[in-house]
Amino acid sequence: MTTAASSSTKLRNAFSYCVRQVRTNDYENFLCILHLPPGPRAAAFALRAFNIETAQAGDMKETNLAMMRLVWWRDAVDGIYKKKTLEHPVIQALGAVISENRLSKHWFTRLLEARMTDLDSMSPLNVAEVERYAEDTASSLLYLTLEASGIRNTSADHAASHIGKTAGMGLLLRASPYHGARRRSYIPLETAAKHGLAQEELYRGQNAEALANAVHEVASVANSHLEKARSLAPLVPAPALPVLLPAVPAGVLLQTLERINFNVFDPKLVRGVCGISPLWMHLKLKWHAYKGTY
């Protein structure tokens, strides 16, 4: 086998690994990505796989080990921009995507720094800090996907910012039981105090009324970002619309939260995809893609 053929096979295997990672660990975004054109679709799978790998690194129980792993990812991304790509399938795929699309290093750095800072952080003080974390992580991924789609448009960027905040905040709320079991919480301290919520109630898995009220407040802020993003739709260029489809599962998740009275311990929240059947989510996305909406 020639060197060129070997390299091509290695790269194809790297992208296949990324697709499997996203399908297994981020199914709602897997469904969204299927509606992108082939080039941006491959890039989006690489970007989402990178997000999964760094999120899993940040979830390691030992903070020092988690930080070491995130530093490894930071150095690996630095290496791509220095033409020194490491032998890891996600890094191999990212290297090809970055080279082809000239993606901004800034968004990778911002995402990684947010995850590193989060390792040593207590609960956020206020909703603004939750919004900032969602912007630095989920919105950064959408900015990169827009770049990979060749889209440089202010309205698309603004919509992506709001959709990222909606999706990121919703994900943190959905993961509250997981974080609570590890004695972490993304319910802002000011919001908890306002509703008389003791963090121990969340840590013990108790669905107190105070917790539901606090979740409702955070979810309402997330929903306001979704409404703002959708109000920008007439200004967003058509090629950007499929990139913004993650607004659909983000909205469904908020609807599920409302349906279960903001009880983050209700098993319906993690049933199917964002609380609905995978088939129904697939049909919703197909409808939005057909209509050119998000």
Which distant-in-sequence residues (6+ apart) come within 8 Å of 27 by Cβ? Answer: 273, 278
Average pLDDT rounded to a whole number, residues 73-90? 95
Class of domain 121-293: mainly alpha
Report the pLDDT value the prediction gives residue 2, as an integer from 0 to 100. Answer: 54
Domain extents in the chain: 1-120, 121-293
Closest CA to 90 of 18, 9, 6, 12: 18
Look at residue 276 and give its three-state secondary structure.
strand
User: pLDDT-based confidence at 111, cuts 50/70/90?
Assistant: very high
- Cα torsion 184, 188, 193, 197 to 10°: value is -40
Tens digits of per-residue pLDDT, 5-33? 778 899 999 999 999 999 999 999 999 99
pTM: 0.95
Average pLDDT rounded to a whole number, residues 116-136? 94
Residue 1 has pLDDT above 50, yes or no: no
